[in-house]
Amino acid sequence: MIKTKFNYDYYLRKNTLPHIWCPGCGDGIILKALLRAIHKCGYSKDEVVITSGIGCASRLPGYVDFNTIHTTHGRALTFAIGIKMYKPKLKVITISGDGDALAIGGNHFIHAARRNIDMTLIVFNNYTYGMTGGQYSPTQPLDSFATTTPFGSIEPPFDVCNLAQAAGATWVGRSTSYHAVQLEKFMVDALTHTGFSVLDVITNCHISYGRRNKMKSPVEMIKYQKEKAIPARSAENMSPEELTGRFKTGVLFETKDNPEFCSEYHKKLELLKTK
């Protein structure tokens, strides 16, 4: 069987290249996985809308040939919700960094999850505000270093997946930019789920985060992802001490029982027309 090469060029706006990401950044791996996942799902370019806020990850929509919108910091989900409400048949995807999604946009994150609106949020989680100088973010590991935590962070980090599930998201998963094949598979799962799906992708910023945390090269950060990732099934047999400093990967939560927001909204509209 002859395996054909995936045609990334078909989905790229080549006139916007070269990209601004640093050499070795994991964002390119995530971008390519997303293109393969969209292709595998069979969506046309016109069916897909990608929104983003501000940050390194948020530059992705500029490079891809779909309906895209680059919005303000932390507000990508609000624009996405508006688009989805007006055109419910569109496949709406939001790209966000950990600071964009959980700090500036934290309020929107929990309410999008609570509503269970049929969209996918992909969090590029590199533990830092890479674009603006390496300030600490809400997912930065305890005791690790940033420009604004030069003596080590004393704040417990958010677990993106636990937060998403607790707030009401109905599909929650995690992978890394090291696990590129798995990442593509989880993206397909998230995109085809009906309801609010959140995929946390641990990725590397060796420039702003790694250099301050003894991982100054992309290779060291990729090794970190490989060594710290624990498949959720394996984690079930591990003690809390064994899991310290590690993170679970896999589809961590999924339910199809909760009503989806757009569907409920339009049902209500039809009901009101009868009164």
CA distances from 187 to 17, 119, 197, 264 (A): 24, 12, 10, 25
Report the relative pairing of strands 171-176 and 247-254 from DSSP bridges: antiparallel
Those residues of the chain that have pLDDT short of 50 are none
Picking from 226, 57, 149, the residue whose alpha carbon sits closest to that of residue 141 is 149
* pLDDT tens string 64-121: 999 999 999 999 999 999 999 999 999 999 999 999 999 999 999 999 999 999 999 9
**Cβ-based neighbours of 109, under 8 Å, separated by 6 or more:** 77, 101, 102, 121, 163, 164, 167
DSSP string, 234-255: HHTTS-HHHHTT-EEEEEEEE-
Q: Rounded to an integer, what is the distance from CA 259 to the centroid of its chain?
A: 23
Write down the pTM of the prediction: 0.95
State the pLDDT at residue 229.
Answer: 97
State the pLDDT at residue 4.
Answer: 74
Cis peptide before 18 (omega within 30 of 0): yes
> Tell me, what amino acid is at 133?
G
Q: State the residue for tokens 């985060």.
A: 209
Structural domains of the chain, ranges and CATH numbers in brackets = 8-274 (3.40.50.970)
Q: How far apart are CA 158 and CA 163, in angstroms?
A: 7
